[in-house]
Amino acid sequence: MSERMYNFSAGPAVLPVSVLKKAQEELLCLPGCGASILEISHRSKQFGEILAQTKQNVRDLLGVPENYKILFLQGGALTQFALIPMNIIRNRDVSADYIVTGNWSKKSASEAKTQGKINVIFDNKEEGYVRKPKDEELHTTPGAAYCYYCANETIEGIQFPREPKVDLPLVCDASSEIFSRPVDIEKYGILYACAQKNAGPAGVTLLIMRDDFVEMSGDDLPSMLSYKKLAEKDSMLNTPPTFGIYIMKLVTDWLKEEGGLQKMYERNLEKAKLLYDVIDASNGFYHVHGQKEYRSFMNVSFRLPTEELDKKFQADAKEYNLTSLGGHRSVGGERASIYNAMPREGVVALRDFMIDFMKKNA
């Protein structure tokens, strides 16, 4: 198959076509290098410039103050689930608070328990993870080091409409919504994201950390597990994921060219509305997993009346060049991931297919 389809995968996910073309154009020989980005040294002047520009792009887009470090790490979000408590609470007589609203925050809390004392201050598992907490439901622990949450649960398709209001520094897994809307970064001790959903390819994780959090890192940790040592070496304690950082540079270049995060936010809300309007007008033929107030504008998770129709929907969608629409195995149904790079035309094509499928099968 040589024709590109509209790829609604939750991750690794769609990248901007212009980014892919630029990478293709430069893959054989990066300008000024005489070699591919896949071949040049991470200590070279050329890669140093790529690293510096990627960091500057992140600062510009998210408004990151100078008292925050920007790191590009390996191991994905799952590694950060353990590294954060390992660095921040393991060797100090403190605990951390966790908000559990879905699969990823649940997994993060489970990993954190291996490294120190954590307090789960909200967990709505019995409700089926259909919503985020109200502010009045959050009661933080006196003396806790941070409050952890996952901004957007990709599996359940629910998202915080804004940061939780708590009296602790926030630590946030923003993997599936990074760069999708403006962020008040000064509310955070740590904000991180694995890249393969909304920022680049699999293999690189962006971590933004306030300086005082960096200093909490224990001196007895192995070098590659110590935020302090990783920060001292500017993400180059060992060979970093050079290609992933290069692609993230191209993605962040693209975001700036497209008008920045407020523009992305407006586009994302409009794209999501196209699908939710069809769902809401379907008289129950399509129904969403999460409560309306907390619906994700990144991952639209929904079901049809029967599993047979779910399977038919996904099979028929491929005939219209709409792919990777299967929901996560834990919730079933469908999931349309409509990250920044998903063009409006792709969402319109899915909307039109949903309307046509309903007419034929309702």
Residues annotated catalytic, as ranges: 104, 173, 197
Q: What 8-state DSSP symbol labels residue 141? A: P
Q: Are 220 and 93 within 8 A, CB to CB? A: no
The residue count of the chain comes to 362
Give the chain's count of helices (H) and strands (E). 10, 14
Q: Are 7 and 14 within 8 A, CB to CB? A: yes
Closest CA to 63 of 262, 341, 338, 298: 262
Q: Is the dihedral of CA 14, 16, 19, 23 positive or negative?
A: positive
Query: What's the CA gap between 8 and 19, in Å, rounded?
Result: 18
Q: Are 293 and 131 within 8 A, CB to CB? A: yes
Query: What's the CA gap between 96 and 89, in Å, rounded?
Result: 7
Q: Are 269 and 261 within 8 A, CB to CB? A: no
Backbone phi, psi, residue 108, to 5°: -65, -45
Closest CA to 157 of 334, 284, 17: 334
